[in-house]
Amino acid sequence: MLNTLKSLRGMVTAPHHLASQAGLSVLRDGGNAVEAAVAMAAALAVVYPHMNSIGGDSFWLIAEPEGKVHGVSAVGAAAANASLDLYAQAGLETIPWRGPLAANTVAGTISGWEAALALVDNPMPLGRLLRDAIHHAEAGVVVTAGGAEIARDKDAELRDVFGYAELFRPGGPLQEGAILKQPALARTLRRLAETGLASFYRGELANDIARDLEKAGSPVSPADLAAHRATTPRPLSAAIRDAQLYNMTPPTQGIASLLILALFDRLAADEADGFEHVHGLVEATKQAFLIRDRYVGDPAYMTVDPQAMLDDGDLLDRLAGAIDPDTALPWPQMANPGDTVWFGAIDGEGRAVSAIQSTYFELGSGVVLPETGIIWQNRGASFRLAPDGWNALKPGCKPFHTLNPAMARFNDGRIMAYGTMGGEGQPQTQAALFTRYSRFGMPLQQAVTAPRWLLGKTWGAESATLKLEDRFEPGLYDRLRTAGHDVELMAPFTSAMGHAGALVRHPDGVIEGATDPRSDGAVAGW
């Protein structure tokens, strides 16, 4: 369903309907898009625990009405004790994906909320913004089909991890339709509301968090928590024929998302979801990922300026020129998995938020802190146990992130906030829905609902094929195979393609929104 609204307050979208309702209620009470987004972020951490948590990281783009676009980078660094020696002494050659040694970075999400609210004059009380999240944690939420599937499929690798079984395995894996209550998390959210968001990192709450991390065997210490701060970098941007695009700075893959669209802007394509469209975006993805994997990581260790690359028209022309319009570039590279939530808000003044938060894998490291009910991320499991080079583990180093929220200001005055979960699929899904809407004039909801593709690995799979949902015109698959793509068909609607969403505000004040039928989400407006 296409959702449009001539609004005084605004519109929100999130991959779980209860989170959308939390954002809507803030708008109804006079809040703006940033405040609504914080309410959604908190609710999502409760109602979608298999996808995100306050023990993860987050990134935000916040556009002022007719003005500046702010960035918030809330990514936690590797603990001071997360050294190569720590893993060598444990007899490990790689960082494990689960367990306490995977929980080796600070969780930045809460600092992201704090930094976002710092941009608001006289924000609503935290107790109001966290109200719905606290209620859902106390009263319980119904386990979704997707949550139950993940609990079942990942049970063997999670059930023995510190703290996991007590919350997520009451007599066995969570079942669809069961009621999940999280009283410890509710108490933590109340404490945050009473003592401030900074108390997650400094003070009694931080000490409780650190004590449980130590009991679990995580290297994250009170000093690591106390040292953490979110940053507010200027977002990356790229100009295309009809819009200015924005995305997040490293250590995210935001540059890849922008490169894909900048390169495709230079290619010929006549229709949405035809061969030129799909092949062109897939090949632009390959060029963008080659750049990303060569250069992107903790900005403190990068040797190139990502914005300068996006501003270099000659470089973009060369990369676009390297794309063969008829033949696929061989693609042996493997993808990174990831589980995430994207959510967005636009208020009646034209303020827009595109935000994303994650624990990396589904249910993160699997470590659940019993005192606070927090699921801790495993983002640091992506580090390489190497002394130097791309994404090498170093104490205090920020890990590479697949997370990247997207935004666009069109030349005609529209503003668009959009994004998705899905690890390596995030830039690809962003590119698909944006080009459908922007270049080919497809209605916004149709652009999100239409079949999608993913170059690379999905959850639990090791193949680097070009995976497509089985709803495209059949002739497209043959043309892609003829061009050299290793085509693999998937279910017509699959969460492997991410949970996308989008909002657009028009110059006349009309707001339209879209949510993904692959998720449990909703658009809500008032």
Helix H, strand E, coil C: the string for 378-438 is CHHHHCECCCCCCCECCCCCCCCECCCCEEEEECCCCEEEEEECCCCHHHHHHHHHHHHHH
pLDDT at 458: 55
Alpha-carbon gap, residue 111 to 274, rounded angstroms: 43
pTM of the entire predicted model = 0.94
Give alpha helix (H) positions in 55-163. Answer: 84-89, 109-117, 126-129, 131-139, 145-153, 155-158
The Cβ of residue 62 has, within 10 Å, a number of other Cβ atoms equal to 27
Helix or strand (DSSP H, E) at 177 = none
Peptide bond into 251 cis (omega under 30): yes
340 part of the active site: yes
Amino acid at 239: A
Amino acid at 117: L
Contact 406, 438 (CB under 8 A): no
Which residue among 285, 340, 372, 458 is the active-site one? 340
Q: What is the dihedral of CA 296, 299, 302, 306, to 10 degrees?
A: 60
Q: What is the dihedral of CA 323, 419, 364, 149, to 10 degrees?
A: -100
Structure-token match 């993940």, residue found: 150
Alpha-carbon gap, residue 354 to 375, rounded angstroms: 23
What are the residue ranges in the chain where pLDDT is below 70?
Answer: 1-8, 332-339, 457-463
pLDDT at 457: 63
pLDDT at 449: 97
**Any idea what DSSP says for residue 236?**
E
pLDDT at 241: 94
DSSP 14-44: ESBHHHHHHHHHHHHTT--HHHHHHHHHHHH
| Closest CA relative to residue 241, chosen from 382, 432, 408 | 408
Per-residue model confidence as pLDDT tens digits over 263-281 = 999 999 999 999 999 999 9
pLDDT at 461: 52
The residues, ordered by sequence, that sit 6+ positions from 296 with a Cβ below 8 Å of its Cβ are 250, 251, 252, 253, 255, 256, 302, 306, 400
